[in-house]
Amino acid sequence: MTTISKSATTLTLINTFKVAPDKQQTLIDLLDRATENVMRKQPGFISANIHRSLDGTKVANYAQWRSKADLEAMQKNPEAGVHMKEAAALADSFEPILYEVFSVHGG
Amino acid sequence: MTTISKSATTLTLINTFKVAPDKQQTLIDLLDRATENVMRKQPGFISANIHRSLDGTKVANYAQWRSKADLEAMQKNPEAGVHMKEAAALADSFEPILYEVFSVHGG
């Protein structure tokens, strides 16, 4: 279970992949395996939450890292790089955006 | 606090707004007020989590609803419609995407 709360330090990365519907599940499986085998072992990893769009054309990863420095260190890791290239090759495009949580309503 | 977990029924809406940096905080404040005053009172609302991009050009709302039918009922609510039009006018563009959670790693 992942929790979202307002934090001065946690970094949120929302990476949205556009993908052909017939490749959506393959991309999801790849991200799922890469997260379990590589990403979650990197320093500063907090969580990754893989989302499947109902229309079949998107996959979103809502990920939390301890800091921007930790995320950047992961991105330089060669093993992570292999998986990121595989995901990029499967997707039509992807857009990773760095956020901080401003407010949480309900829960 | 919001929790993300794999659920057969909960609907996740990630709405990403592109915005000029000098309007980012105004848009955030508008979404924040609209959520507190209107959205959270609608049937099926679970949570809304307003995110500010570090580069100033995006705002993301990570929202959870009990079902797609509840979300669609909210979108037809005239009071909610006023706020959604205000947000659309402030943003350069926005892209609401409906998801289900496929997997959760870490937490």
The model's pTM: 0.96
Residue in A40, A51, A99 nearest the CB of B54:
A99
Please report the beta strands in B7-92, taking only residues with DSSP state E, as ranges in sequence order.
Answer: 11-18, 45-53, 58-65
CB A36 within 8 A of CB A94: no
Residues A88 and B98: their CA atoms lie apart, in Å, by 22
Residues of A with CB under 8 A from a CB of B: 1-5, 12, 14, 16, 28, 32, 35-36, 39-40, 45-55, 58, 60, 62, 64, 68, 97-107
Q: Which CATH number fits domain A11-96: 1.20.1740.10, 3.40.50.1860, 3.40.1010.10, 3.30.70.100?
A: 3.30.70.100
- Please enumerate in sequence order all residues whose Cβ is within 8 A of that of B74, keeping only pairs 6 or more positions apart, or say none: B39, B42, B44, B45, B65, B80
What is the complex's ipTM, to 2 decimals?
A: 0.95
Residue in A49, A60, A106 nearest the CB of B46:
A106
Structure tokens at A25: 């599940």
From first to last of its 107 residues, chain A has per-residue pLDDT tens of 899 998 778 999 999 999 999 999 999 999 999 999 999 999 999 999 999 999 999 999 999 999 999 999 999 999 999 999 999 999 999 999 999 999 999 97
CATH architecture of the domain B11-99 equals 2-Layer Sandwich (3.30)
- Please enumerate in sequence order all residues whose Cβ is within 8 A of that of B91, keeping only pairs 6 or more positions apart, or say none: B17, B18, B19, B23, B27, B59
The confidence score (pLDDT) of residue B1 equals: 83
